[in-house]
Amino acid sequence: MTSTEDLIGRAEVDDLESILAITNRDTDEIVHAVQDNAAAIFTWDYEKGARPALNKLYEKAKTAQWNGETDLPWETEVDQEKVVLANAAANNGLNDGMDLTGTQFEHWTDDEWLKLGIEFQNWQLSQFMHGEQGALLCTAKIVETVPWIDAKYYAATQVMDEARHVEVFAKYLETKLSSHYPINTHLRLLLDDIVSDSRWDMTYLGMQIMVEGLALAAFGFIHQLTTEPLLKKLLRYVMADEARHVAFGVLSLKEYYDELSLAELRERQEFAFEAAVRMRDRFLMQEVWDRLGVDVKPAIEIVMRAPQRQLFQQMLFSKIVPNCKKLGLLDAGDGWLRQRFGELGVIQFEDWADTGDEYDSFAIGSEAGAAVGT
Ligand SMILES: [Fe+2]
Ligand SMILES: [Fe+2]
């Protein structure tokens, strides 16, 4: 059996010391090469619609394209300080309503909190941008490696979607925010693992189910919290696409996983667990504390106790867990993944809606979409 140490490089999931020991030392690199180890698969079976659900998704994607340059209100002025203050006022205040007596933050001034808020915006949008590039590359790989024509067609539309996502996040960072961050190491390790795996379904599992499932939940959370209208609309548009992408993963893998042996499923369970831990680690924003000159470990220990933070941390898994359940990964074999998700404190989402067919409710202009602020 593979040990936790083999999977994530440490024996204890919550070992903060080990998590923080991994940092990005290649901050000056311009390109980063990863061997993708996969065969490009041609298919001579061109029957369109052999997989009706994928065909429907493809037809939907063709009519749901938008233009990042012209459909978003780029003329909106974004004053980062004002956004931090407005978000704080609309939510829990600058320090999330915490009692910080006796901590290194006890005597922080409003200016210091403001600076943290601004750096947090810079960091968060930077990581979203890097993650979107990961999706762009992974989906281009799926076009090559998936054996079904309906899936190749759909994946091709997703490649376009992801190009647009990278474009709009990069433009937002460049024109509205004050600085950017290199890719977080935990995120990079995960993307490297996904890209380098030779099995086509692992690209889907890592990207469409885990990374995009988490992104859909994170974007939804931030979409609700932010008071900045340009970002709100940008996230709303991106979410409409992401809901289709996650559905693409669920619909494709459901068919494939029904055929796998327990040993093969166990490898998928382990991969899902590894991805979940890496994604959780990446949200510790260690680079922000570093940049602000704050002692990183105690800062993170305090942040982890913040009520809004805990809610966010858990909500990140609100799409992933039901989708893993739908794919049969939660309970396959001895229910290994159920147990691990239990340890991560996210198993309570197992009966939430899965994303196999809820993408319509995220569509721009849809009636249900109005509920999430279209
Ligand atoms: Fe995306
Ligand atoms: Fe996506």
Distance 15 CA to ligand 1 centre (A): 30
| Tokens 């961050």 belong to residue | 181
Contact call for residues 66 and 219 (beta carbons, < 8 A): no
Q: What is the pLDDT of residue 368?
A: 47
Report the length, in residues, of the chain: 374
Residue 184 has pLDDT above 80, yes or no: yes
* Total-model pTM: 0.94
Q: What is the pLDDT of residue 359?
A: 85
Distance 73 CA to ligand 1 centre (A): 19
Closest ligand (CA of 158): 2
Residue 20 has pLDDT above 90, yes or no: no
Residue 309 has pLDDT above 50, yes or no: yes
Q: What is the pLDDT of residue 26?
A: 73
**Structure tokens, 200:** 């086509």
Residue 342 has pLDDT above 70, yes or no: yes
Who surrounds ion ligand 2 at CB < 5 A?
A: 135, 212, 242, 245
Mean pLDDT over each residue of the chain, to the nearest integer? 91
Nearest residue to 372 via CA among 264, 192, 216: 216
Q: 353-366: per-residue pLDDT in tens?
A: 888 777 888 888 76
DSSP per-residue string spanning 12-46: STT-HHHHHH-----TT-S----------------
Q: Residue 372 — very low, low, confident or very high, per pLDDT cuts 50/70/90?
A: very low
CATH of domain 78-97+106-371: 1.20.1260.10
Distance 156 CA to ligand 2 centre (A): 12
Distance 168 CA to ligand 1 centre (A): 10
- Gap between the Cα atoms of 192 and 198, Å rounded: 12
Q: 21-50: per-residue pLDDT in tens?
A: 887 777 778 899 999 999 999 999 999 999
- Gap between the Cα atoms of 321 and 340, Å rounded: 11
- Gap between the Cα atoms of 223 and 229, Å rounded: 10
Q: How many DSSP H helices and E strands does the chain contain? A: 17, 0
Q: What is the pLDDT of residue 366?
A: 66
Distance 262 CA to ligand 1 centre (A): 31
| Mean pLDDT to the nearest integer, 120-125 | 96
* 8-state DSSP, 305: T
Closest ligand (CA of 207): 2
Spell out the alpha helix ranges (H) of 22-148.
52-63, 80-90, 110-145
| Tokens 């570093």 belong to residue | 290
Distance 36 CA to ligand 2 centre (A): 19
Helix, strand, coil percent content, the chain, rounded in steps of 5: 65, 0, 35
Instruction: Output the CA torsion 175→316→283→110 (10° steps).
Output: 70
Distance 174 CA to ligand 2 centre (A): 21
Q: What is the pLDDT of residue 374?
A: 41
Distance 241 CA to ligand 2 centre (A): 6
* 8-state DSSP, 245: H
Q: What is the pLDDT of residue 102?
A: 86
Contact call for residues 118 and 84 (beta carbons, < 8 A): yes
Distance 135 CA to ligand 1 centre (A): 6
Distance 365 CA to ligand 1 centre (A): 19
Q: Residue 322 — very low, low, confident or very high, per pLDDT cuts 50/70/90?
A: very high
Distance 361 CA to ligand 2 centre (A): 16
- Gap between the Cα atoms of 316 and 349, Å rounded: 10
- Gap between the Cα atoms of 54 and 50, Å rounded: 9
Nearest residue to 273 via CA among 316, 337, 189, 208: 337
DSSP per-residue string spanning 140-152: HHHHHH---HHHH
Q: 199-258: per-residue pLDDT in tens?
A: 999 999 999 999 999 999 999 999 999 999 999 999 999 999 999 999 999 999 999 999
- Gap between the Cα atoms of 78 and 85, Å rounded: 12
Q: Residue 131 — very low, low, confident or very high, per pLDDT cuts 50/70/90?
A: very high
Residue 157 has pLDDT above 50, yes or no: yes
Contact call for residues 173 and 125 (beta carbons, < 8 A): yes
Q: Write the CB contacts of 133 (distance below 8 Å, at least 6 apart in sequence).
A: 162, 166
Q: What is the pLDDT of residue 281?
A: 85
* 8-state DSSP, 184: P
